[in-house]
Amino acid sequence: MRRLLLVEDSKLLMMTMKRILCEAGFSVIDTRNGDEALRLARHMRPDLIILDLMLPGLGGEVVLRRLKEDTTTSHIPVVIISSLPQINADKLKHEGAIAYIEKSKLELEKSDMLVKLLNAALHKSMAHA
C-alpha cells in the first residue's frame, strides 16, 4: 500500500481528497501546516507528498525547498496542488516538484482523475529513481 502525506490547510478539501485516496487504496497521513509536514516526511518517509503552497506558518515553497535539501526526504516525489495560477509551475518543478495542479482544475467529483494523476506521478518518480 502506497503511503501519501497530504499537506492541505483547507479542512474540506483535505477530507475530500483523503476519502478519495483511501478509497483508491492509498494510506494517507495528513497535516495542515508546513512545519508538521517536514517532521512527518522525515519520520514516515511517504511514497509521495501532496503539498499545498498557501499554508499557515511555513509556506509550501519553503517546505518543498527544505524537503529537497534534506537527504532523508530529497528522493520523495512532491505534487503541488495550489490555488495559485500555473505560472509558478516551471519554477516549482525546477525546485523539485514532480507535478503542479491548480485546485481550480482539480475536479474532485471525478475522483479517478486525482488518483490517475498521483499514480502517474509515482510511476514517473520510479522511472527516474
Beta carbons of 73 and 67 less than 8 angstroms apart: yes
Residue 129 has a pLDDT of 55
What residues in the chain have per-residue pLDDT under 50?
none
Q: DSSP assignment of 32-95, as one string?
A: SSHHHHHHHHHHH--SEEEE-SS-SSS-HHHHHHHHHHSTTTTTS-EEEEESS-GGGHHHHHHT
Q: Which domains does the chain have, with CATH numbers?
A: 3-128 (3.40.50.2300)
Residue pLDDT, tens place only, 47-81: 999 999 989 889 999 999 999 999 999 999 999 98
Beta carbons of 8 and 108 less than 8 angstroms apart: no
Q: How many alpha carbons lie under 13 Å from residue 117 in its C-beta half-sphere? A: 23
Residue 128 has a pLDDT of 59
Residue 38 has a pLDDT of 97
Residue 113 has a pLDDT of 78
Considering only CA atoms, give the Rg of the chain. Answer: 13
User: Residue 121 in 3-state DSSP?
Assistant: helix
